Structure formats: C-alpha cells, structure tokens
A and B are shown apart, each in its own frame.
Chain A
Amino acid sequence: MRFSFAHIILALVLTLVGFSLGQETYFNSHPTVWKDGEVLIWSLDADPALDVKEFCLSLRRFNAGIGDPKCRLLGEWERDSVALRYASWLNANMDPNLDPDYLRARHPAMQAKFQALEDKTVLYIAKNGDKLNIAVFDETASEPKAAGQIHISPDKISMGDNVANMFFDRDAKRRLSKEERQKLATEPDEYFQEVPIFKGWVGIGIGYSQAHIPLTPDDWTESHTKSTIRNYRVTKDSVSLWNFLDDSDPFFSVYAGGTWYDFIGLELIYRLAVHNMKTDPNDTVYKELDHWKFYQHEIGLNAMLSRNYKPLKWLDITPFAFLGFQYSFFVEDIGLKKKVKTPSKAYKTRIKFEEAYKGALIGAGSHFILHQHYGLGLRTGISSRGRDMYVDPSPDAGAQPSMIGGFTLDWFISAGLEYHWTL
C-alpha cells in the first residue's frame, strides 16, 4: 500500500468526524473496487449532490491503488422510466433496519440493466431531506452491495471524500480484458473440469508411537511391553516385536500426497524411529554389551478420502481418513564395549528379526491450510507389522517355529508442517 502517513491521519480524522456528521453505513458487503475503474454516478436529483470530477479526485486521494478511475453521470438510467421508478422507490425504502434483500429491484428490465454493467460500478445517490442516501451496485446482484447515508453539506468535495472513504477504501483489483471476462464467464464449474482438480502436499513431521492403544484395556499389551530379553534371545512370547523392543518412542516422518476432486487421494510416507532392545538388567551376559538398538524404517502408501471446508478466506480445513499398507525394515545397531575382544556365544546366536515386515495402517487426521499453501497436518492411527500375506503357508507350517514379530501393533500420533499446492 502506498498510503502516506498524512492520508492515514486524514482518513482517521474523517472517520471520527463521520460519526458526528451523521454518516452511517447500513450494510457493506465490500464490492470489488477496480483499478482504473469506471464509476457511474446515478443521481435521482437533477442537481447531483456530488461533483463528478471532484469525486474522482476524492477516490484517488483515499485509495492510492485505485489508479486513474473515470467517473461520469449515468444519464441513460436517469432518463429511463423503469430505472427512475426503481430509483425513487429505493430512496423511499432505504432504512438502516433493512437487509439488502428487501431492496432488490423486482422489475426484469431493471435486473437486466444491472446484469449488463460488466465491471462498472454504479454509485446511487438520492437526496432525502437533509440526508443523502447512497448505494453501490455492481453486475453481480440486483440489490445494493453497500448502502448508507451522509448529511448533505454545501461542500461537495468533503461529501465526495466521505463517500470515497465509506465505500471505496478496499484494495483495488486489476480490470479484466474482454477476453479474460469471456473466458471467466464460460469457464465450467471447477468440479466438472476435464482435468480434475489436484491438490498436493509435501510435509515433514514428528510423532510418537506406543504399543498400547488408548481406550483399550492395559492387559492387552502389558505382556508385551513388560517383557525383557534374557541371554540375547529368550523372551516369554515372540509374536510381537514389542517383547524385544522399547515401544514408546518418538518418530520422524516425511510424506507427500495428493487428492483429486478434494475427495480421493494417495499418500506416500516414510517413517524413521529408533528403538532400544529391552535387555534384562539382571542378566550378567550383557556386561560385554555397549548398545543394542534397532532403526525402524517404514515405507507406506495410503489411500485416503477427504473433504474440504473453508470456514475463512485464508483457512482451509481438510479432514481425511486413510487406509494403507507399509513395509517395515529393522536395521540392527549393536556394539560391544571396547575392552571386549571376543563376544560370548549367546551374542553370536542372538535373536534375528525378519528382513522385512508387511503391515497395514488405518487412521484419520486433518490438514489445516493457511493462505492455500502453508499447512499443519495432524493425524492419529494404528499401524501393524506382520507376515507377508502373499506367501502360502507350507504344509508343515505347524512344525516350523513361529515368525518373530508376526503381529506387532502400535498406536501413533503425529504433527507435521506441510506445503500445499493446487494444479
């Protein structure tokens, strides 16, 4: 904004003075102010209360971005009987208690006139006693977009300043060319485009996961979470990896995804977590051990359903639910103390996990997107790791040892910073 300090002071003073001068805005839905626009002054009275040239200068004084507006009297409406009837009707009916809906022009010919305005703005002025009724019209409706009144004073310049300050103080937009207008008018509804609307995002996040799923009984997971490993491989039950690994740990995630039609989408995720092995502190065999932990790498693909809500102009809220699959890889990181030259026999025959586990993800969350691009994503869900379902069980499966970590379940919650874009 190229407002100088003096302009701001002037506007402030005028606003304050406005209250004392009986200046009142009935309603204002802030119609578009066009840069280098055309303002047509539609006066009910033969002697207009505003001076056309001075009003244009007032516009430039109060809105530095308005460019070079053109103002003229709307003579063709002032001579038209339908418009004249509506103008006098409006003057009699304008009232602070009435919504714009009650001021709509009902005559089809009048409605057609408003629709044919294109990007011109009509400023209606009509004297009513010692007050001046003001209404602003544009092509989008046959009712006033803004209305109010001010006291009539002999100083037409200050009245023009008041009106410009009341209704034309918004940021001015560039006028569209004839081709652009036509393109905009013939553009199909966005949900009927041949190329669907695609919204994409990338994000990085941190989260936390644990074996115990909230709102479920503790004893569902206690046997896993409380167990420890003796002699590098002995534990009560090996069906869940949480018998060996610490379950409650933070994780880091990177993800990218997209939705089509604001409704159906796909998302690729990568997660990294570090889990310590739960060695039994009473077991003396671990004296040689410096550290023993596993890096958990997970790559997954989610299918998601979402819906977009726009409660505010700068905020999009997109709740979603997802269902997906993932591969988990556990990479061992083990080290002996420096003094130890030869590890124990138990160390050499320690437990090994599968090379990869396949699992599923289910959950829900929401994106909160500020100004179309900068998002915060929150999500929660349950993920599992298990055997590869595509392997047929062999006939002698009963004789085989059960798979370690064949059913590893956890609950997670995460928050991420995201960047969103629309194609």
Chain B
Amino acid sequence: MVFRNWVILCIMVCALVGCSPSYHWSKSHPMYQKAPYSELAIAGTSEAFVLTRSSWFAKKFKWSPDSIQLKATAFCKDVFLNELRRAYPSFEQIPDANTKNFPEESQKLDSRIFMKGRLPEQGVMVKDSSGKTPPYILLLHEFIVGTDLNREDYFDYARIHLENTSKKTSKNLSAIVSYTLWDNNKQRPLFSAVDEIQRPISTPTPNDLEALVRSAVKQIRVNLYEGARK
C-alpha cells in the first residue's frame, strides 16, 4: 500500500509540474559567440525607468510624493549608469535622439513571452555622441521598480490583462529589466532577456534601492556572459 501511495504521489507531482507553465526568459542569436568584454554602449535609459507604488516609496523614503517618480527614476538611472561605467572601461551613452525614432517592435522569447522595445533599423549603424559606431549596444527597454513584482504579470501575454486581486505586499524590493544586446556592426539582436531581481527588505531606504539596481546590473552582466554560445 505504501508503494501505491508513492506512485500516486509521484503521478500527482508530475501532473502539477507538467501543467505549470515554464518560461524561457532569454533568447540568444545563433551567432552570439562572445559577450562584450570591455566595450559597451547603452541606449534607452531616459525612458526605461518606471517606479510603481510611488506613494508607498514616498512615505517610506520621506521624499515628496509630487517628485518621487522623477527623483527615484533619476536616482536609479544614475546608479545603473555608474555601475556599468565601472564594469566596462570604454563605456558610451548613445544620445536619445539617435534611437528614439526607431519603431517599437516585439521580440518573442517564448511561446507566451513577448518583449517590446525599440530596435535600430537593419542596415543603419547607430552612432554615439562623438560620431563613432560602438560594436555593442545594450538597449534598455524597461526597468520597472516596485515591491514583490513578478515578471510573468508583465510579460506573459495571457496574464498581462488580468486584474491582480491579491493584496499588495512589500517583503521584497523588486526590479524587472528587459533589454537587448545589439550587434551594431551587423544590426542584429544578439541576446534578449527579461530579468527579475528581488531584494528582501524590512524598512526600505534609498540604500536598498541602490543595492537593488546594482544587483540588476550584475544579473544583466552574468546573463550576457552565459547567453553567449561557446
């Protein structure tokens, strides 16, 4: 009898595991062989950062509720850029004017995961502020900051229209980042991904926010490295 119960349990577990959706959160181009090592440019930072639950953050950080969105996103952006600048010796920022006119397209990462973002045109090399053409550009599409966020709620097309009825919790500070590593020489997306970063908190401070953005950058770098096909 014990054996039979075990079999039933195993079957139930298999059924449960089999039914729950498993997602692919990144996609590599077949020709993505080597992650950028020292040289990287970034684009899209001016409109990518979004803060959710801004009044909650305003209360906790004791920042003015009127300016919290601007102040917090600028804060995150600065941390993000500084962190990248430390990681890549020759780091460039692409002016917004150079990328803003590209149409928004969606990239399919998985049968249910679609990621929206602006991609440069085929056959057009993007120039940085000094007129040079960097070989790799990290296109930052979205950087969502909040508490206890799940990337499924934002990127699974079957779930994005659902109303979230569960009560908002704040056990973790979370960030959801979607980005594309762009091969500027051949104008193709080398690596696209959606990352989710969670950081447990008790009383949130701007320092926690800074640490969150830092771990997001770290996560991006790890993924860029692991996404390359050796």
Q: Do A and B come from one complex?
A: yes
Q: Which single residue of chain B is at the shortest CB-CB distance from A87?
A: B123
Contacts of A88 in B (CB 8 A): 123
A93-B121 Cα distance, complex, nearest whole Å: 14
Q: B186 touching A102 by the CB < 8 A rule? A: no
Beta-carbon contacts under 8 Å, B115-148 to A:
119, 121-124
Candidates A85, A93, A98; contact of B124 at CB < 8 Å:
A85
Q: A85, A86, A102: which contacts B188 (Cβ < 8 A)?
A: A102
Is B12 part of the binding interface, using a Cβ–Cβ cutoff of 8 Å?
no
B30 touches A93 (CB 8 A): no
Cβ contacts B16-36/A at 8 Å (1 or 0 each)? 000000000000011100000
In the complex, the number of residue pairs spanning A and B with C-beta atoms less than 8 Å apart equals 36
Cα distance A391–B103 in the bound complex, in angstroms: 77
Question: Is there a chain B Cβ closer than 8 Å to A234's Cβ?
Answer: no
Asked whether A89 is an interface residue with its Cβ less than 8 Å from the other chain, the reply is: yes
Question: What residues of A have a CB within 8 angstroms of the CB of B105 in the complex?
Answer: 106
CA A107 – CA B120 in complex, angstroms?
Answer: 10
| Chain A contacts for B219, CB-based, 8 A | none
Give per-residue flags for A341-359: 1 if the beta carbon is below 8 A from chain B beta carbons, else 0. 0000000000000000000
User: Given the interface contacts A92-B186, A102-B188, does A85 sit within 8 Å of B30 by beta carbon?
Assistant: no
A38 within 8 A of B: no
Check B187 for interface membership: any CB of A closer than 8 A: yes
Kindly list chain B residues whose C-beta atoms are within 8 Å of the C-beta of A84.
Answer: 123
Q: With both chains docked as a complex, state the minimum distance between the C-beta of A375 and any C-beta of chain B, in angstroms.
A: 36
Residues of A within 8 A of B187 (CB): 89, 92-93
Mask: chain A, 86-104; 1 = CB below 8 Å from B; 0 = not: 1111001101011100100
Whether B121 contacts A85 by the Cβ 8 Å rule is yes
Is the pair A93, B119 in contact by a Cβ cutoff of 8 Å?
Answer: no
A59 at the A/B interface (Cβ < 8 Å)? no
Contacts of A92 in B (CB 8 A): 185-187
- Whether A98 contacts B30 by the Cβ 8 Å rule is yes
Q: How far is the CB of B49 from chain A (nearest CB, A)?
A: 26
B122 and A86 within 8 A (CB):
yes
Given A89-B187, A93-B186, A93-B188, decide whether A102 and B121 contact each other with a Cβ distance below 8 A. no
Residues of chain B contacted by A108 (CB below 8 angstroms): 103
CB-CB < 8 A to B103: which residues of A?
Answer: 108
Question: Min CB distance, B85 to chain A, in Å?
Answer: 30
A409 at the interface (CB under 8 A from B): no
The answer to the question of A105 belonging to the interface, with a C-beta cut-off of 8 Å to chain B, is yes
A78 smallest CB distance to B (angstroms): 14
Q: Considering the complex, which residues of chain B in the window 176-197 have a beta carbon less than 8 Å from any beta carbon of chain A?
A: 185-188
Q: Closest residue to B183 on the A side, CB-wise?
A: A93
B122's partner among A97, A98, A105 (CB-CB below 8 A) is: A105
Of the candidates B119, B124, B185, the one having the most CB atoms from chain A within 10 angstroms of its own CB is B124
Q: Which residue of chain B is the closest to A110 with respect to CB atoms? A: B122
Q: Is there contact, CB below 8 Å, between A102 and B123?
A: no
Kindly state the separation between the CA atoms of A108 and B119 in the bound complex, as whole angstroms. 13
Residue ID in chain B nearest A108 by CB atoms: B103
CA of A392 to CA of B144, assembled, Å = 77
> Given the complex of chains A and B, what is the CA–CA distance between A105 and B105 in angstroms?
13
Query: In the assembly, what is the distance between CA of A95 and CA of B103, in Å?
Result: 26
Give the complex CA separation of A89 and B29 in angstroms. Answer: 16
Pick from A95, A105, A106, A108 the residue with the most CB of B within 10 Å.
A106
Which range contains the number of A residues in contact with the other chain? Answer: 10 to 19
Contact of A95 among B31, B121, B122, B123 (CB under 8 A): B31
Beta-carbon contacts of A119-163 to B below 8 Å, as 1s and 0s? Answer: 000000000000000000000000000000000000000000000
**With A and B bound together, what is the CA distance between A285 and B39 in angstroms?**
109
Residues of B within 8 A of A97 (CB): 30-31
Contacts of A93 in B (CB 8 A): 186-188
B29 adjacent to A106 (CB under 8 Å) = no
Whole-angstrom CA separation of A128 from B186 in the bound complex: 14
A97 to B29, CA, bound (A): 11
Chain A residues with CB under 8 A of B185: 92
Which of B31, B119, B122, B186 is close to A85, meaning CB atoms less than 8 Å apart? Answer: B122
Verify A98–B121 contact, CB threshold 8 A: no
Candidates B31, B123, B186; contact of A86 at CB < 8 Å: B123
**B122 contacts A89, C-beta separation under 8 Å:** yes
Q: Which residues of B contact A107 (CB under 8 A)?
A: 121-122
Collect the chain A residues with CB atoms within 8 Å of residue B123's CB.
Answer: 84-89
For the complex, what is the distance from the CA of A86 to the CA of B185, rounded to whole Å? 14
Interface 0/1 of B162-186, CB less than 8 Å to A: 0000000000000000000000011
Contacts of B121 in A (CB 8 A): 85, 106-107
When distances are taken between beta carbons in the complex, the residues of chain B under 8 Å from A95 are: 31
Q: In angstroms, how far is the closest chain A Cβ from the Cβ of B82?
A: 33
CA distance A108 to B122 in the complex (A): 11
Docked Cα-Cα span, A97 to B119, in Å, equals: 23
Give the complex CA separation of A86 and B105 in angstroms: 17
Cα distance, A106 to B188, chains bound together (Å): 11
Measured CB to CB, the closest approach of chain A to B139, in angstroms, equals: 14
Looking at the assembled complex, report how far the CB atom of B119 sits from the nearest CB atom of chain A, in whole angstroms.
7
Chain A residues, Cβ within 8 Å of B31: 95, 97-98
Specify which of B29, B103, B188 lies most central, judged by the most chain A CB atoms within 10 Å of its CB: B188
How would residues 188 to 210 of chain B score, 1 for a CB under 8 Å from any chain A CB and 0 otherwise?
10000000000000000000000
- How long is the Cα–Cα vector from A392 to B186 in the complex, in angstroms? 85
Cβ–Cβ < 8 Å partners of A105 in chain B: 122
A98 to B229 CA separation, bound complex (whole angstroms): 14
| 23 CB < 8 A contacts A-B | A85-B121, A85-B122, A85-B123, A85-B124, A86-B122, A88-B123, A89-B122, A89-B186, A92-B185, A92-B186, A93-B186, A95-B31, A97-B30, A97-B31, A98-B30, A98-B31, A99-B30, A102-B30, A102-B188, A105-B122, A106-B119, A106-B122, A108-B103
- Given A97-B30, A106-B105, 8 other A-B contacts at CB below 8 A? A84-B123, A86-B123, A87-B123, A92-B187, A95-B31, A97-B31, A102-B29, A106-B119
List 3 A-B pairs, minimum CB-CB distance, nearest first: A85-B123, A89-B123, A89-B122
